Amino acid sequence: MTLHVVQFSGGIGSWAAAQRVAAEHGTDNLTLLFADTLVEDLDLYRFLQDATTQLDVPLTVVRDGRTPFEVFRDQRFLGNSRIAPCSYWLKQKPCRDWLNAHADPADTIVYVGIDHTEAHRVPGIERGWAPWKTRFPMCDPPHLTKEEMLAQTRALGIEPPRLYALGYRHNNCGGSCVRAGKKQWLHHLATFPERFAAAEHEEERRRAELGDVAILKERRNGVSYPLPLRELRRRAQAA
Ligand code: SF4
């Protein structure tokens, strides 16, 4: 029997993908695989609990045991929008280790919850998960917007993860994603100032060690410069 493994991140796309996989294949051979970065919003864990209860499939949790900033410390590198080693160490590698131990590539399909607006990522993700076969249920029609997926959770009596209602496009790493842009970090400063402060503190520690690096960049006169969170906050507060 083919094993169906959904990369179940706590995001709404992977939830909707799991719904489609369950509708098509049932839940007997369904695995909901969650890689815990240890810095997720607490409400993400509540959502995972509600979602797995509704599907009646236990959650399979893998973890590296470090947080993103602990990975940056160990790698002597500060993650940013272009290169985020945290994603490899905290998500891809633990999931791959689990697949190596539990899933025969000849009889397993891995499902990823990106939607049709992110279809350009498909070839890279396929290459990344080889030799396992990958499918992208939310790239298939009917194409749903994020809002429609959120409405589907409510229709099933499940409250969506609160970060969406708080204005975040993604429910990952508690909003402190190093791949997020300046706009989200400003939103993060206003919404969760203590999380912003924690990220700023960690960024400053890496800067003390590595020099003028930053999660964010800005362009001035056609030249790209690091934009530390401390400076972003200073400007926001001055304004
Ligand atoms: S969500 Fe962002 S910060 Fe978290 S592991 Fe992925 S890339 Fe890193």
In a 3-state reduction of DSSP, which class is residue 222?
coil
Closest by alpha carbon to 41, among 177, 200, 230? Answer: 177
Domain ranges of the chain: 3-163, 181-238
Question: Does residue 113's CB lie within 6 angstroms of at least one atom of ligand 1?
Answer: no
Residue that is written with structure tokens 């995972």 in the block: 48
Strand pairing category for 133-135 and 59-63 = unpaired
Closest by alpha carbon to 231, among 216, 211, 221, 220? Answer: 216
68 CA distance to ligand 1 middle (Å): 7
Is 64 within 8 Å of 94 (Cβ atoms)? yes
Is 160 within 8 Å of 48 (Cβ atoms)? no
On the 0-12 / 13-18 / 19+ scale of CB atoms within 10 A, 95 is buried
Question: Does residue 173's CB lie within 6 angstroms of at least one atom of ligand 1?
Answer: yes
Average pLDDT over residues 181-206: 98
25 CA distance to ligand 1 middle (Å): 30
pLDDT of residue 129: 96
Q: Which atom of ligand 1 is nearest to the CA of 79?
A: 8
* pLDDT (tens digit per residue) in 24-37: 999 999 999 999 99
Best mutation site among 36, 37, 38 for ligand 1 pocket (most ligand atoms within 8 Å of CB) = 37
Taking the C-alpha atoms of residue 215 and residue 81, their distance in angstroms, rounded to an integer, is: 7
Question: Does residue 9's CB lie within 6 angstroms of at least one atom of ligand 1?
Answer: no
Question: Does residue 172's CB lie within 6 angstroms of at least one atom of ligand 1?
Answer: yes
Q: Which CATH class is domain 3-163?
A: alpha beta
Question: Does residue 90's CB lie within 6 angstroms of at least one atom of ligand 1?
Answer: yes
pTM above 0.85, yes or no: yes
Taking the C-alpha atoms of residue 57 and residue 25, their distance in angstroms, rounded to an integer, is: 13
Residue that is written with structure tokens 């001035």 in the block: 220
* pLDDT (tens digit per residue) in 34-75: 999 999 999 999 999 999 999 999 999 999 999 999 999 999
